[in-house]
Amino acid sequence: MNRFQHGDHGDTENTEMDGKELTGEVIGAAIEVHRLLGPGLLESAYELALERELALCGHTVSRQKKVPLEYKGMSLGDGFRLDLLVDDILVVEVKAIESLLPIHEAQLLTYLRLAGKRFGLLVNFNHKVLKEGIRRVVNGY
């Protein structure tokens, strides 16, 4: 168990602090990936590279994690996949598009709600300066 994983999920204050700290670390890792690869690749390339960078930093990363979808009490199977789930806390949605739109933030917020996660990060690698392509999203439950 790394320092971001808690056995006590009821400790929302610590989870809040860990989520914010983890988000900062993932942004740092994304900046490193962008620095080495630059813009212009497919999303899958950035997803793989970011997964590797985060693993090198000691994080537990699940890529293309299946999330079941329930509707009115019935399981509908795997409803969607998370690009990256870091330390079972932070959902990272990787993009390589011209610009982020409000629908991308809404999509991530829906993913967070359905997956039962609080913290999300949209990272659009198709920018000259990566900071311009990063959005933090928090699910208020």
Nearest to residue 61, comparing CAs of 82, 38, 34, 37? 82
Q: Position 68: which residue type?
A: P
Nearest to residue 125, comparing CAs of 20, 26, 42, 22? 42
User: CA-to-CA distance for 14 and 29, rounded, in angstroms?
Assistant: 22
Of residues 33 and 78, more confidently modeled:
33
Q: Which residue has the tokens 């509908």?
A: 76
Total domains in the chain come to 1
Q: What's the pTM value of the predicted model, to 2 decimals?
A: 0.86
Q: Helices 43-56 & 12-37, crossing angle to 10 degrees?
A: 120
pLDDT digits (tens, 9 = 90+) for 25-61: 999 999 999 999 999 999 999 999 999 999 999 999 9
DSSP-assigned beta bridge partners for residue 63:
84
pLDDT for the residue 58: 96
Evaluate whether residue 3 is within a structural domain: no
Evaluate whether residue 5 is within a structural domain: no
Evaluate whether residue 4 is within a structural domain: no
Range of the domain at 121: 12-138
Evaluate whether residue 113 is within a structural domain: yes
pLDDT for the residue 140: 87
